Amino acid sequence: MDEGEIVTPYMKPLELFKNKELVTICAPMVRYSKLAFRSLVRKYGCDLCFTPMIISDCFIQSIRARHSDFTTCKEDRPLVVQFAASKGEDWAQATKLVAPYCDGVDLNCGCPQRWAMAEGYGACLIHKPHLVADMIHQTRNTVTDPDFTVSIKIRLHKDYKHTVDFARQMEAAGASFITVHGRTQDQRGDPVCLEAIADIKSALQIPVVANGDVRSMDDAHRIHHVTGVDGVMAARGMLENPAMYAGYKTTPQECVKDWVNIALKTGTHFTCFHHHLIYMLEKSLSRGERKYFNILGSTSGVLTYLTEKYKMEFSRSFYINLISRECNIIGWQTVIRIVIIIWQNMIKILIIILIIICTVVIKIHHISPSCFRNSAIGDNIHKDEKYELTQE
């Protein structure tokens, strides 16, 4: 997307929090919450999307990292770009680069993975309130637009009263909103602590978003009711059912079809395309079917499966695009398109060839008697000439 490209009107994050009772958010998900998936969930009632976490120092240093980690388009709004950072300068510099293409940046203060903590990223930051406050301050000062959000996503401290204090300090430092994953860094499948989220919400003036185990709109409404939060954020729930925020209990077929269309149109890598389908179809396939589907290794294999199992139909132009996309050799694409068009119109072409052959045959048939006659006459003339010659 070019800077300054015209974007159709939409509500920015703070406007959403102001105008909607409950803002529905797609979580940052490494490898998953990319442009294609964001386009899909936006079609199904998701108000705000986060990019996957991007490591800020690599992003600043390498143009290659910038191209591979961040892709967007003018329809991809409102958008928050999430960063992993351990220093204010890194987060602020990375923010400067993405600010023209998004509506806010977020700092990951919740990742519990060991590698992240060793680098000073993620959940270890909730134990460094002064550092995070300074990071927010620096980043806030890089963007002049007051509607541009600078937010953080956190986990709970073991004693969540510390999380309430931490959140208050971040609000004072200028955080625009805070997302709380209601578990500590050591908890995985444990129930989400809604009590902690409710306490954080009532201690702050800025919007608070609840995260953890939002798997349906029923969950979203229940969590909203119990905690009073301004928004809900879902990760695994979105992967299993990207249409969740539109009220669907399981992924509707239309949504699967939309994913196939969007993913192939945007050139999504097969692994990502396939993994999303594995999540989406998990509930509708039996164990045996899942085993079979999960080991499919090509786009055509997946499409054949979907067509046979769900009777899904895709348009002709879809297949033309698919084949020419898969043949990655520029130049050959045109040839392949022509071959496909010929193949699709084979009957018409055969009829035309037949008509041409018939016309030629009939013409020959009309010409041949006179030809023979002429040659006979010719013979005669020849003979007559011979005769005349001999007479002379």
Residues annotated as catalytic (active site), given as ranges:
111
Q: What are phi and psi of 184, to 5 degrees?
A: -85, 170
> In the range 70-109, which residues lie near ligand FMN by CB under 6 A?
82, 108
Decide if residue 211 touches ligand FMN (CB under 6 A).
yes
End-to-end CA distance of the chain: 95
Phi, psi angle pair for 247, to nearest 5° = 100, 0
CB of 40 to ligand FMN, least distance (A): 16
**Only segment of 142-150, 166-174, 229-237, 264-272 that touches ligand FMN (CB under 6 A):** 229-237
**Residue type for 319, please?**
Y
> Interface residues for ligand FMN in 117-136 (CB under 6 A)?
none
Q: Which residue has the tokens 């541009």?
A: 148
113 or 300: CB nearest ligand FMN: 113
**What's CA 335's distance to the chain center, in Å?**
29
**Residue 237 is a binding residue for ligand FMN (CB under 6 A):** yes
Q: What is the CA radius of gyration of the chain?
A: 33
155: β partners: 181
Binding part of the chain for ligand FMN, among 196-204, 233-241, 330-338, 359-367 by CB under 6 A, reads: 233-241
Interface of this chain with ligand FMN, residues 268 to 287, rule: CB under 6 A: none
d(CA 254, CA 246) in angstroms, rounded, equals 13
Report the nearest approach of ligand FMN to the CB of residue 165 (Å).
21
| Of 234, 260, 277, 303, the one binding ligand FMN by CB under 6 A | 234
When asked if residue 235 is in the footprint of ligand FMN (CB under 6 A), the reply is yes
**Among positions 13, 28, 78, 88, the unique one binding ligand FMN when judged by CB under 6 A:** 28
What are the distances in angstroms from CA 217 to CA 37, 69, 122, 196? Answer: 19, 30, 28, 21
Residue 72 is given by DSSP the state: -
In the complex, the residues that contact ligand FMN under the rule CB under 6 A are 27-30, 32, 52-53, 82, 108, 110-111, 153, 181, 211-214, 234-237
